[in-house]
Amino acid sequence: MKNYASLLQGNEAMAQGALYAGARFYAGYPITPSSEIAQECSKVMPKLGGVYMQMEDEIASMAAIIGASLAGVKSFTATSGPGFSLMQENLGLAIMGEVPCVVIDVQRSGPSTGLATKPAQSDIMQIRWGRHGDQELIALSPSSVGECFSLTVEAFNLAEKLRTPVVVAADEIVAHMRENILIPEPGEVEVFDRRKPTGDPAAYLPFGPAPDGVPPISSYGSDYIMHVSSSMHGPDGYSNNGPDNAARQIARKNSKFEHHRAEIVKTRTYEADDADVLFVTFGTVTRAARAAARTLRESGVRAGVLQLITVWPFAEEAVAEFGGRAKTVVVPEMNYHGQLAGEVKKVLGAGADVRRVNSWNGQIITPRDILRAI
């Protein structure tokens, strides 16, 4: 890997981030605006001894990365809205089976195939609630090519640490954007590998209790036999429909997110400490908000930005802290319904002055668009 500032596209940076984190299996079905991730993996993966598989569709892509991960290989896929919809069922399987893997969703304008080459941030609720049965799902959202790299590494680390799928919620702008970035040397950024079982293989419980809620995960083919099922299972992985068991399994599967919450939920602030006007953002729109805040500061208005690097689980504490202090909170996002604004309102309460700035025609939100809300 080059260690001088190089010009990299967001999609390329996400692929490079995955490889840096140790991913050696990619299965996918190319779709705009994520295709360059598949392209990059098809070029680089075989050279690293990894596997690139082009699948017949996104249902199979998701199934393939689950299988590869259960065989012990860090695996991922990339897609956009239409493909992400097809992945939901197997994404639920990955959550139920506690299979570490990463799904990159480069959001484009919908509904359906919509504006295929234009950006959106409209999959945020689908990421959170797109599958049947309630569950937690981590989503990280990059605002620059540098973050495309670093957050993909982070996505793998969280996936491995928590035995869970993680979504990188990018958008078309950042995915197709090129910026100068410095790729870190191997070892410079921490890479976490899943905890493997030790001790007597006969006593191994792939879904047993664990201090942080995350039991060690075996690999298919090893001495530690692991049975993975989409149906409710006991600590040994085999079918168990007893209510006490179900209560314990669901509680543990959720408790691991609570246990590791501080490592998962990341935000970044720009002059938010004394902000009367606070912009709450995620993804590329963060940049327009920062420019708008700077303009407001120049005219004497104390404005700042709270960037949600982690979109899910929602950063309630930070929104309450900085949003509670501000007189006005503005949530700019590229969707019609104000998917993030609703969450912000939920935290700040009905009396708070929470304003929306939305774009749903594939056009980028500009600092001027945001300033109009003030």
> Contact positions toward other proteins, by CB under 8 A?
5-7, 32, 116-117, 173, 176-180, 284, 287-288, 290-291, 294, 364, 366-367
CB of 145 vs other proteins, minimal distance in Å: 8
Cis peptide before 197 (omega within 30 of 0): no
- Smallest gap from Cβ 111 to other proteins, in A, equals 16
| Rounded-to-integer distance, Cα 322 and Cα 337, Å | 23
Stated length of the chain: 374
Say which residue the tokens 């980028």 belong to.
364
Q: What is the DSSP letter of 235?
A: T
Q: Residue 180 or 230: which CB sits closer to other proteins?
A: 180
* Min CB(34)–other proteins separation in Å: 14
Dist CA 315 CA 322 (whole Å): 11
Q: Which is nearer to other proteins, 5 or 251 (CB)?
A: 5
b/e map 172-210, b = 16+ CB within 10 Å = bbbbbbebebebeeeeebeebebeebeeeeeebbbbeeb
Least gap, CB of 179 to other proteins (angstroms): 5
**Crossing angle of helices 58-70/81-96, nearest 10°?**
30
- CB closer to other proteins out of 2 and 47: 2
Which has the closest alpha carbon to 175: 76, 84, 83, 106? 106
Spatial CA neighbour of 153 closest among 134, 140, 163? 140
State the minimum distance, in angstroms, from the CB of residue 371 to other proteins. 12
* Residue number with CB closer to other proteins (219 or 366): 366
Nearer to other proteins, 98 or 172 (CB): 172
Closer by beta carbon to other proteins, 5 or else 48:
5
Judged by CB, which is closer to other proteins: 11, or 90? 11
- When the beta carbons of 182 and 205 are compared against other proteins, the nearer one is 182
Query: Whole-number minimum distance, CB 362 to other proteins, in Å?
Result: 9
Distance CA 55, CA 33 (A): 17
- Rounded to a whole number of angstroms, the minimum distance from the CB of residue 368 to other proteins is 8
One-letter amino acid of 235: P
CB of 113 to other proteins, least distance (A): 9
Handedness of CA 130, 131, 136, 139 (dihedral sign): negative
- Which DSSP string corresponds to 13-34? HHHHHHHHTT--EEEE---TTT
